[in-house]
Amino acid sequence: MTSEMKPILEIEDLSMVFGGLRAIDCVSMHINSGEIAALIGPNGAGKTTIFNCITGVYKPTEGTVSIVDSDGGKEKIQGLKPHLINNKGLARTFQNIRLFSNMSVLENVMIGRHNSLKGGILSAIVRDRRTREEEQRILDESYEILKKIRLDQFVNETARNLPYGAQRRLEIARALATDPFLLLLDEPVAGMNPHETKELEETINLIREQEKVTILLIEHDMSLVMNVSERIYVLDYGRLIAEGTPLEIKSNREVIKAYLGE
């Protein structure tokens, strides 16, 4: 395990200022290849803001976000458009579910596969053999992903009619469909019951093992965080106050103070 502890994403001195509010203040962190890292902190600590900065929804005020390739070369991605960042292999889910709710479950996943094909307007109209094959290919691939996340019984269901837990899983399936190397999960089990949480925990482990996808998750459910993550970053008022293994974090005084007060 330790031999492959190579960073794949590095965040250096990231700051995000909204008007007079420093939502994130000089945060530096890195994600190692193949790990599950967690980002925790009290409400309003700036966790989702960090996600938005990484995925291009926000342009960070200062600092850099870079993808590190296997040779250690860095490619800065901060400030790029979200779709370009996604194309580089970063996919995310959203805290408040953002599915394409009037489209079917399968179509949601197919949107994720959008960039794995090239057909434009003309090929859609002509519908030549290549386009048909491509279409069939992403149909199959999307179905495979749904099967893996165990949503295949809902294939033709409209996304908004899905049970809550399934909607959260569909978000993950859709993000996976974009073939990411890093998956950013924003509160994946928020609002789920213990049973659903357990299921999702299995799904997360499965994704990491089978898909070789690195995962960074934001979560308030401490049992999930402690169970699945290998490293934890703790954020409070936009500043990083602790970093370490679950055990270290559990006994960290700063963290306890941030959560419980003095």
Partner 1 sequence: MRQNGLKSEILGSLAQAAWFTVLLFPLIVMKVNVAMSKATVQFRWSYLPIIAIASFVLSFVWRRALEWSSTRVEKPAGSSFSSKIMGRFQIFESNKTIRLATVALFVLCVAVYPFALGMYHTNIMITALIYVMLALGLNIVVGWGGLLNLGYAAFFAVGAYTYGFLWKFVGPQFVSAGFDTGWLFWIALPMAGIIATVFGVLLSLPVLRLRGDYLAIITLAFGEIVRMVLQNASDITGGATGISLIPRPWFLGFKLPPKQAATYIYYIAVILVVLTVFIVRRLEDSRVGRALEAMREDEIACQSMGIDLVHNKLVTFALGAFWAGIAGVVLAAQTTYINPDSFTLWESVMILMAVVIGGQGSIPGAIVGAMLLKLLPEYFRPLAQYRMLIYGIAMIVIIIFKPDGLIPRKRKSYYFVKKNSADSGHEVRV
- Percentage helix, strand, coil, to 5, in the chain? 45, 25, 30
Number of chain positions touching partner 1 (CB under 8 A): 47
Minimum distance, C-beta of residue 248 to partner 1, in the bound complex (Å)? 32
Determine if 92 is a binding residue for partner 1 (CB under 8 A): yes
Count, residues in the chain:
262
Nearer to partner 1, 111 or 226 (CB): 111
Where helices occur in the chain by DSSP H, the ranges are 47-55, 82-87, 105-112, 121-126, 129-148, 164-176, 194-211, 222-228, 246-250, 253-260
Structure tokens that stand for 225 in this block: 């965080």
Residues numbered 47 to 66 that lie near partner 1 (CB under 8 A) are: 55-57
Determine if 248 is a binding residue for partner 1 (CB under 8 A): no
Structure tokens that stand for 167 in this block: 């909607």
Determine if 125 is a binding residue for partner 1 (CB under 8 A): yes
Determine if 190 is a binding residue for partner 1 (CB under 8 A): no
Sole binder of partner 1 in the list 82, 165, 244, 246 (CB under 8 A): 82
Sole binder of partner 1 in the list 6, 59, 81, 212 (CB under 8 A): 81
Determine if 155 is a binding residue for partner 1 (CB under 8 A): yes
Sole binder of partner 1 in the list 24, 40, 68, 106 (CB under 8 A): 106
**Which residues of this chain interact with partner 1, rule CB under 8 A?**
55-57, 81-83, 86-87, 91-92, 94, 98-104, 106-107, 110-112, 114-115, 117, 119-121, 124-125, 127, 131, 134-136, 139-140, 143, 152, 155-156, 158, 174-175, 177-178
